[in-house]
Structure 1
Amino acid sequence: MAVSTSRSNKLKDEVYKAAVDHAGKNDNKEIILKFYEENPTSPIDDQGDTVLHVLALHRTEVACELLQLEMHHGLLAKNCKGNTALHEASRVGALKLAKLMVRKENSIVDHSNLVGETPLYWAAAYGQTKMFQFLAEKSNHSNLMGLRRNDGLTILHAAVMGEFYDLAKEIVDRYPPFLAVACNEEKKTALHLLAQSPFLFRSGTLYSEMNVADSSFIPLALLKLMIYSCLSIPVEDPNKGNLTDPEDSREPEDGRSSIKGKKRNYFSTSNC
């Protein structure tokens, strides 16, 4: 029994190493293929990730090949945090892979993780605009269900907290007004969070940061105006320093929101 378990763990280690191999050698792809055909929903790491979870982050082209196979793919399999492989594809903007997943299992778009985050939420939180647009068309969210997580943060909160203001504007335009005035557990709307951006306000204005924070009435027009204000601000201002993450100098990726913001730690950090 111990020998069998040891062999199984060794095989999973080999599959995991092949799945994260960005070089994409053909010889190790065969290891992935053989394991996947026999164990599509079997975890290959200590986080409960399946082959597709890992490939979605590291080798999306191989994941797309696997989904062409005529077999049961087990796409609704979740890791220990409740994430499906579509969650992982959503946060890196793997649109081709996401389309294949939804084609195989359309209900996957509405599955949330343990803290109530859907793939749509992750697309908003990571500024993946094209992915967000695709999932928004495929999802079945007619009310706040699926648009907010367990602590009340909505997809609009997520986009604002990530400073993806062009995506935030699209969310305001796409969804009914109730989303703009939805509060989290701390009774804060997305506008309250937006008000924490100090470069939006000038002292003495009617809607100063303090006034907005104390207001119980949030005009939708004001929210749109503030988002437009963010969009009009250049990414780099020589008089105010760099407004972007100094450790991230990459150009926006395909499908990513055009204004790259700082990642906020508002995801679940609990371990298995």
Structure 2
Amino acid sequence: MEATNGAAVEATNGAAVEETYGAAMEGKWEEMVNYYQKHLTHFCTPVTDSSETVLHLAVHSMKEEPLKELLEIMKKRELSLTDEIEFLKKPNKFGNTALHEATIYGNYEAVRLLVERCPDLIKIENELGETPLFTAAGFAETEIVEFLIGSDLKQCLGDDGRLLETHRKRTKDELSILSAAIIGQKFETALLLLEMDKSLASLKDKNKISTLQLLAEMPTAFHSGFPMGICKRFIYSCLPVRRPCEVKSKAVSLSKERKRMGDLECGRGRYSVDHLRCGSEKNQRGGLLNYLKIPKIHKESGTRKQIMYLLIHSPKA
């Protein structure tokens, strides 16, 4: 009798997997959501061979609605807070939570929804030892990195203003978060990270390769690495690009927020942010500020030359 019941449950779960996964693969997200509205008991059942939950699939939609609606359905299950958090943290076979996947796919709204529901997701490591902040640096746009750091500073930064150890390197090969951004060619993110935490410049992987070495060995990282004709050069020069000063101001804003939190917590501030203040407040970075005044900066040669400059002039460990 027990064997019969077990087979029936397995068949039911199999049908759930087939219906929901099939709908997701065809981009029929509303159909997938509707299934779970009718079958609440199947909500926590893994839906792929990689042990992905329906939340993992939802973030792949690159939309807000599928995940938002599924999170509402989860409330209807009336799970205890502990069970709800456990489900949100559930990894696939690669150790990726739904938040990891959201950063890899660059789904900003999904990132926002998940972090608002469970801020602790930011510090969970996958099988490679990567946190969602780490994967965001290598795959996502800078705004997602900014959001993750700004959403809960204590989850990302220590009392000394540096990134927490869990975010600085992945454990598998000791690749730094800064190097991950460079390898992913997320140069605005790399600049933001450097502006926030210059100590990242001294980190090396297990092969003793530094970020400066990685950048120097990437011919496509600089304008001169791309052979272009006159037409391509003209089109290239017209491309809209966030200026380095704008990225710098983002880092300063995060720094001020970090200091404000410190002031509230201990009356005089726990975080040291002098190294991030702009020249009008303290002229500690005159060399860099003068460098930022270059009148005309190409997309390839601007942000990336700044990164090179900061790497060369950052204090060595």
- Common fold by TM > 0.5: yes
- Aligned 1:130-149 pairs, distance under 5 A: 130-137=143-150, 138=152, 139-142=155-158, 143-149=164-170
Matches within 5 A, 1:1-272: 1-24=6-29, 26-35=30-39, 37-58=40-61, 60-69=64-73, 70=75, 71-72=78-79, 73=84, 74-137=87-150, 138=152, 139-142=155-158, 143-150=164-171, 151-175=173-197, 177-198=198-219, 230=222, 233=223, 237-238=227-228
User: Do the aligned partners of 1:56 and 1:89 also contact (CA within 8 Å) in 2?
Assistant: yes
Give 1:236 deviation, angstroms.
Answer: 5.8
The secondary structure found in structure 2 opposite 1:145 is: helix
- Return the structure number with greater helix share: 2
RMSD: 2.9
| Structure 2 spans left out of the alignment, 5+ residues | 1-5, 159-163, 233-239, 242-246, 248-298, 301-317
- Aligned with 2:168: secondary structure? coil
SS at match of 2:72: coil
C-alpha displacement at 1:20, in angstroms?
3.1
Q: What's the CA shift string for 1:172-218, capped at 9, x where partnerless?
A: 1112x221111111011111111111367xxxxxxxxxxxxxxxxxx
Deviation per CA, 1:210-246, whole angstroms, max 9, x where unpaired? xxxxxxxxxxxxxxxxxxxx4xx2896415xx9xxxx
Aligned partners of 2:170 and 2:117: how far apart in 1? 25
Which letter does structure 1 place at the counterpart of 2:156?
Answer: N
Give 3-state SS (helix, strand or coil) of 2:67's partner: helix
CA deviation after TM superposition for structure 1 residue 163, in Å: 1.6
Residues 110-149 of structure 1 show CA distances to partners (whole Å, capped at 9, x for unaligned) of: 1110111111111111142111111122233423322210
Task: Tell me how far apart the structure 2 counterparts of residues 189 and 57 of structure 1 sit (CA, whole Å).
Answer: 33
In 2, the alpha carbon distance for the partners of 1:60 and 1:193 equals: 36
Q: TM-score, normalised by structure 2?
A: 0.60
CA contact (8 A) 2:43 2:54 kept: yes
Distance verdict in 2 for CA 1:54–1:235, change over 3 Å? farther
Q: Distance in 2 between matches of 1:18 and 1:171?
A: 39
Equivalent-residue separation in structure 2 for 1:238 and 1:131 (angstroms): 32
> Which amino acid in the other structure matches residue 228 of structure 2?
P
Q: 1:22 to 1:87 in 2, by over 3 A?
A: same
User: CA contact under 8 A between 1:41 and 1:77: conserved in structure 2?
Assistant: no
Shift of 1:18: 1.9
- Distance in 2 separating the partners of 1:235 and 1:95: 31
For residues 27 and 141 of structure 2, the distance between their equivalents in structure 1, rounded to whole angstroms, comes to 22
State the one-letter code of the partner of 2:7: A
The 8 Å contact of residues 13 and 45 in structure 2, kept in 1 or not, is answered as no
- The CA distance in 2 between the partners of 1:5 and 1:236, in whole Å, is 56
> Counterpart amino acid of 2:14?
N
Offset, 1:165? 1.5
TM-score scaled by length of structure 1: 0.69
Contact 1:48 1:79 in 2 (8 A): yes
Q: CA deviation at 1:53?
A: 0.4
User: How much identity, in percent, do the aligned residues show?
Assistant: 27
CA–CA separation in structure 1 for the residues paired with 2:178 and 2:94: 22
The answer to whether the 8 Å contact 1:120/1:135 transfers is: yes
